Chain A
Amino acid sequence: MKKYKWLVPTIYILFLMLPIYWLLNMSFKTTTEIINTYSLWPQKFTFENYITIFTDSTWYTGYLNSLYYVVMNTVLSVAAALPAAYAFSRYKFLGDKHLFFWLLTNRMAPPAVFALPFFQFYSSINLFDTHVAVALSHCLFNIPLAVWILEGFISAVPKELDETAYVDGYKFWRFFFRIFIPTITAGIGITMFFCFMFSWVELLLAKTLTAVAAKPIAATMTRTVSTSGYELGLLAAAGSLTIIPGAVVIYFVRNYIAKGFALGRV
């Protein structure tokens, strides 16, 4: 039994890689080849699809737009969530439990419920089709998540650390920035990773709140498919490129990822 244990993760990973390989395979074919011939690898290997994406500004600005609001949202969410998570972890205050659950309810709100009202709301405050609008709207689910994860990590730090610092004469903010934040860097890194991830993969709100100027890559993809017939090769290339930022980010947090997914609560 033990000897064949490695088979399970191996088969699972193969299953995970198969559709990704197929996407890559398609991205190096021309659309005509995709439709007319079935082959496990490209017969006429071509970079044409990728060249189109990197030279056509309607394509590559999509990536820049996405990265722009994702980074904005990540910074905003973590900065706001950090003091809040500290408060939830260390103090009892009026309505704390209710507030925490209320925050979580926003993580539970189906984006489809909010799509139309969001469109009207952000239009009425003149933020429609801006990066800020998408970054702010993603706070709806990323801030609750960030508070939840950070609270887990902060609760794992013994309270004696705070008390010792106060005895040593540290004022609160000096303690918070000089001692506390460096102690939970891993937790902050993980939280940023999650905010990045959920903002990067979300499309419904991002698409609803943008038209041209801030249109994310994911939306560019859907639109091109519907107007120019089925440009499958191009679609596959664009899709393959969206995998890269995620893969890069995963690599940096690989040692903490399991703990992070457990929201710091192991």
Chain B
Amino acid sequence: MNKTEYQKAWLFVIPVFILVAFNAAVPLMTVVNYSFQETFGNNVFTWEGTRWFKQILQSDRFHAALGRQFLFTGIILFIQIPLGIFIALTMPKEGIGVSVCLVLMSMPLLIPWNVVGAMWNIFALPEIGFLGHTLNDLGFDYNFTQQTGDAWFTTVLMDVWHWTSLVVLLSYAGLRSIQPAYYQAAEIDGASRWAVFRYIELPKMKKVLTIAILLRFMDSFMIYTEPFVLTGGGPGNATAFLSIDLVKMALGQFDLGPAAAMSLIYFFIVLLVCWVFYNLMMRNEEQS
């Protein structure tokens, strides 16, 4: 859409600008402040320069948490995106089934995140949970509170349960926008199912899939409440992702300086990845 140049449009944006700046600017400055200083309470601060940044960037603990975070985000993107597309392709296109699917599939998205954690906790507990009980009955030695592998399996399964529907809904919206004429043309040409997917459906879903990857990346990279309630970051530190580790440091040990430095590094990584995605998306939009 060609836009008119109109500087007064800023007036329209001011309410949003004020509300967001009010929330973002002051707290972010506080974090920046802490990241350069040391405090022993009583509002006494001493200047520390870049010491905390160096400390965090070199600490094994941060590297481990970052590694776990990238592994987790990688795994869930690798599962959720293809699975979401697959389910969207098999969904009914008309009739009552559409509403039923959409409503039921959206359910997990609207459950408070700590309830998701608690629900999966009682669902997966070895003695009383359906999942844990069944797996143990089948002969698996399953206990997510004590075994690292099981904890990861449960956390990933929970996230797949929680968020795959988002990818399904986005892909479905993309598929619905394809005109029937495209399919008819493909049929006349005798195109295979795979060719239809590869040359008609996938290109049409490109835009929504970029949004899906962007949202899933952001949210999985910030994940806190669900694993915190489910495993508490345990066993040991096995599922302590970046946010969990950060809160532990800031509120548990009250190491404000290092925690603030870590926050900024953390935020910077998210920004960097999202910036790349955002530019890709905007380029897509300009092309179409």
Contact = CB atoms under 8 A, between A and B. Distances in A.
A38 interface: yes
Interface stretch (B122-130, B145-153, B181-189): B122-130
A254 B133 CA distance: 35
A266 B110 contact: no
Interface stretch (B44-52, B72-80, B171-179): B171-179
Contact of A9 (B9, B90, B176): B90
A225 B114 CA distance: 12
Interface string B241-253: 0111011001100
A42 interface: no
Nearest to B110: A246
B15 A239 contact: no
A250 interface: yes
Interface residues of B, number: 96
Interface in B3-37: 3-10, 12-13, 15-17, 19-20, 22-24, 26-28, 30-31
Contacts, number: 281
Interface residues of A, number: 98
Interface of B: 1, 3-10, 12-13, 15-17, 19-20, 22-24, 26-28, 30-31, 86-87, 90-92, 97, 99, 101-115, 118-120, 122-123, 127-131, 133, 161, 164-166, 168-170, 172-174, 176-177, 207-208, 211, 218, 221-222, 224-225, 229, 242-244, 246-247, 250-251, 256, 259, 263, 266-267, 270-271, 274-275, 278, 285
Interface of A: 5-9, 12-13, 15-20, 22-23, 26, 34-35, 38, 40, 76, 79-81, 83-84, 86-94, 96, 99, 101, 103-118, 120-121, 136-137, 139-140, 143-144, 147, 155, 159, 197, 200-204, 217-218, 221-222, 225, 232, 235-236, 239, 242-243, 245-247, 249-251, 254-255, 257-259, 261-263, 265-266
